Amino acid sequence: MDINNFSIVDLFCGVGGLTHGFVNENFQVDAGIDFDKSCEYAFEKNNNSKFYHKDIIGLSADELSSFYTTDKRKILVGCAPCQPFSIYNRKGVKDGEKDSTNEKWKLLYSFSDLVDHVEPEIVSMENVPLLLKFNNGKVFDDFKTRLENKGYTVSFYIVNAQDYGVPQRRKRLILFASKHGKIDLIEKTILDRNYVTVRDAIGHLPPVEDGVSHPNDQLHRARKLSEINRKRIRATKEGGNWTDWDNSLWLECHKKESGKNFKSVYGRMKWDDVAPTMTTYCIGLSNGRFGHPEQHRAITLREAALIQSFPSNYEFISPDKEMSAGAIARQIGNAVPVGLGIAIAKSIKKHIEEIEG
């Protein structure tokens, strides 16, 4: 079996979390495609691959085919933007109810169109589990049926990234499709709940104050806190939240009965537990349980990247360009955790070994 006979293209590649998983497993990823051009530097710098700034909806099959190495066997992977299916964007929308205000899910149909015409031997798609229920399951079922009608065997799994060495709770849907039979997801790599913890991931980093970058790493910088938020984080114990505070520190929403249900906001992480799901707002103290377990601040961009299982030397910013912290947080939060990318790559590698004998 020689995985070098295969060429991979990563749709919706972002800064390369999924691609880096394949690179770790010695696959050749020839191209990544994304609508967000700000991801180009990080994707190319860390993955020895070419970034194409393209809108998937307008991408032709011929153009996609040109990104593969000639005469190599094709694998197509990707994570269509999951915001339309995210619980954070579906408040007020019941399970199975159609949300007509957001049409980003049509990107999955564009993904299907490209598979139909390019016919890679192997396909993988990663997304949020709510995709299975979105629009009464029609979006996912259409995607799966179109693959099956083209001769693919489809398998899919709901996984938690913490079971594959990622130091956060992050439930995801992973789909595989192959012209050669079923692809099985590899067994969990973390057994007996011996998860990689927040301490394991970021405990070695030097302390920094809010609003101050570490001199050796510009990504190791936390957002500057207001005076009231400094008081709030100081009043929050490890693993705690706003319910630890004296009511003089409460927001108006905390005084309402409905606000008492949102106990993760302004929360601190626990050292010896996994982190919560990293979102695109993962460096905001008020946006979730993103407070550092011990230091009086929210987590830094570097800490968020490590919790997403990016290696510590992963570069996100070109030295000659400036980028907002919010933009980098969005890139990190949107990424497929590298550890989960490795699990996907290992599953495909095992499948190739089986079909090649």
171-178 vs 153-160, strand pairing mode:
antiparallel
Per-residue pLDDT of the chain (357 residues; tens, 9 = 90+): 589 999 999 999 999 999 999 999 999 999 999 999 999 999 999 999 999 999 999 999 999 999 999 999 999 999 987 655 444 444 444 444 444 435 667 889 999 999 999 999 999 999 999 999 988 899 999 999 999 999 999 999 999 999 999 999 999 999 999 999 999 999 999 999 999 999 999 999 999 999 999 999 999 999 999 999 999 999 999 999 988 999 889 887 766 665 556 667 899 999 999 999 999 999 999 999 999 999 999 999 999 999 999 999 999 999 888 889 999 999 999 999 999 999 999 999 999 999 987
Residue 160 DSSP SS3: strand
Query: Quick one: pLDDT at residue 94?
Result: 47
Task: From 308, 305, 264, 259, select the one nearest 285 (Cα to Cα).
Answer: 264
Give one word for 316, left, alpha or beta, with left for phi > 0 and alpha for psi -120 to 50: alpha
Matching CATH number, 3-192+335-356, of 1.10.150.130, 3.40.50.150, 3.40.50.1000, 3.40.50.720: 3.40.50.150
**Are the beta carbons of 178 and 121 closer than 8 angstroms?**
yes
Q: Is 253 a catalytic residue?
A: no
CA dist., res. 312 & res. 217, Å (int) = 10
Give the residue extent of every domain in the chain: 3-192+335-356
pLDDT of res. 260: 59
Give the span between the Cα atoms of 235 and 346, in whole angstroms. Answer: 44
Active-site pick, 13, 39, 79, 82: 82
Tokens of 309: 């299982």
pTM: 0.92
- Structure-block tokens of residue 149: 């009608």
pLDDT reported for residue 83: 55
Residues in the chain: 357
Rounded to the nearest 5°, which phi and psi values hold at 304?
Answer: -60, -40
At 275, the amino acid letter reads A
Q: What is the pLDDT of residue 89?
A: 45
Sheet containing 171-178: order of strands: 50-53, 29-34, 6-11, 73-78, 122-127, 171-178, 153-160
Tokens of 236: 């929050």
Helices 138-149 and 106-118 meet at what angle, rounded to 10?
Answer: 0
Question: What are the tokens at 139?
Answer: 């979006």
* Whether 166 contacts 335, CB under 8 Å: no
